[in-house]
Amino acid sequence: MRMVFMAYLAGSFEAVDFYCKAFNATPRNCFTASDDDDFYAHAEIAVNNQTILAISDVASYNTDFKRENNMQFWLTFDDEKSLENAYDVLKQSAEIHYALSPCEWSAKMADLTDKFGVRWLMNYN
């Protein structure tokens, strides 16, 4: 089994570019619902050929998605440089809950809510 999270965001073109930069990822399976749409109906972010996050623009749905604080993505990085790169990108216009620094259970850890309202807990041991 493999789990992929789906994020419903406004500004999906920008979000895909933002997350690809943060995680040194590749966009794939990106499509719009029609030729004149300026948003993704579906897009995937892949790291090492594995999808880690799927994104769909809220404009694709007749549903009132709300930004809430009941979920957080927890990423454990294999190397410190990748963690630092992700943090440097994600912290732009973010609400920082715990700045990148050592903590009692990890060599480095950060906790933030990015500009799209997605909360990330990231660490490296």
**Any idea which architecture 5-60 has in CATH?**
2-Layer Sandwich (3.30)
The confidence score (pLDDT) of residue 69 equals 65
Q: Where are the domains of the chain?
A: 5-60, 73-124
Q: How far is CA 88 from CA 18, 93, 96, 111, 125, in A?
A: 11, 11, 12, 12, 18
Question: What's this model's pTM, rounded to 2 decimal places?
Answer: 0.84
Q: What is the distance between the alpha carbons of residues 117 and 112, in angstroms, rounded to a whole number?
A: 9
Q: What is the pLDDT along the chain (125 residues), one digit of tens a residue?
A: 577 888 998 999 999 999 999 999 999 999 998 888 899 999 999 999 999 999 999 888 877 777 666 678 899 999 999 999 999 999 999 999 999 999 988 999 999 999 999 999 999 98
Question: What residues have CB less than 8 Å from 94, skipping those under 6 apart?
Answer: 112, 113, 114, 115
Give the rounded distance of the alpha carbon of 87 from its chain centre.
Answer: 11
CATH assignment of 73-124, among 3.30.720.110, 3.10.150.10, 3.30.70.360, 3.30.460.80: 3.30.720.110
Same CATH fold, 73-124 and 5-60?
yes
Q: Which two tokens stand for residue 1?
A: 């089994």
Contact 5, 17 (CB under 8 A): no
